[in-house]
Amino acid sequence: MEIRFDGKVALVTGSSRGIGLAIATELAAGGARVMLSSRKADALEAAVAGIDGDVAWSVANAGEPDQASACVDATIERFGAVDILVNNAATNPYMGPTIDIDLPRLDKTVAVNWRAPLFWSQLAWRAWMQEHGGVILNVASIGGLSVEPTIGAYNATKAALLHLTRTLAAELAPGVRVNAIAPGLVKTDMARALWEPNEEAMARTHALGRLGVPDDIASGALFLISDASSWMTGEVLVVDGGAGVSTRA
């Protein structure tokens, strides 16, 4: 089945690399006009140069409300709509026991991973979706469904994001669908500290025998964004290579 987004406008946060860039690239390939957003202009410029299609970029730290508002305004000004919002930007500035996290890094984690998806959704709703409808996709994590010893604070924000997904799905229906995707361990720069030291051993814990790559998540994301999932809202799609069912050692 070919998934198309002709005539649609998408805004993807945290899209200069990794999962966000993969989603933005596939949306553009499917005919969407796409606004990429992240913190660094040079990274965004390089990302856009590698995408075929009608794409643009706007610098915004996802956790800063004023920058988020300016980015949504720039999307409306450039493309005339925000039909699709992908809340992908995330951060994990602390690894270690949750009981020991300092407040500045806790506040940053909450601001980017939970507060930002809410106010970006508010902005898209008020600027376009309330009147015209749309789709919101939150990029969460399987960490939001489990307990891990070194990234507990990060996982708590992802669990909160999953609950926010269900809440917004109920509040914004029927005009706006809101779903989440929960990736497993994906080979991105952000997750490098988790997979790079022992990739081979980590891969053996997955039923499919390998770690994920950004394109694996983009494929699931496109399904949730498209009309192929038009009777789904408030749902979480786990894409983890079978880590949750594996009996491999």
Is beta strand 9-13 parallel, antiparallel or unpaired with respect to 176-183?
Answer: unpaired
Which phi and psi (to 5°) does residue 198 adopt?
Answer: -150, 55
What's at 105, amino acid-wise?
Answer: R
Instruction: Tell me how far apart the alpha carbons of residues 228 and 57 are, in angstroms, rounded to a whole number.
Output: 27
Please pick, among 37, 57, 154, 229, the residue that the annotation labels catalytic: 154
DSSP tag of 6: T
Question: Which two three-digit tokens encode residue 109?
Answer: 């984690």
Residue closest to 220 by CA, chosen among 11, 26, 6: 26
What Å distances lie between residue 123 and 65, 118, 136, 158, 165, CA to CA?
A: 9, 9, 12, 21, 16
Is 154 tagged catalytic? yes
Element holding 193 (H helix, E strand): helix 192-195
Please say whether the beta carbons of 14 and 38 come within 8 A.
Answer: yes
Half-sphere exposure of 100 (CA within 13 A, CB side): 7
Tell me the catalytic residues: 154
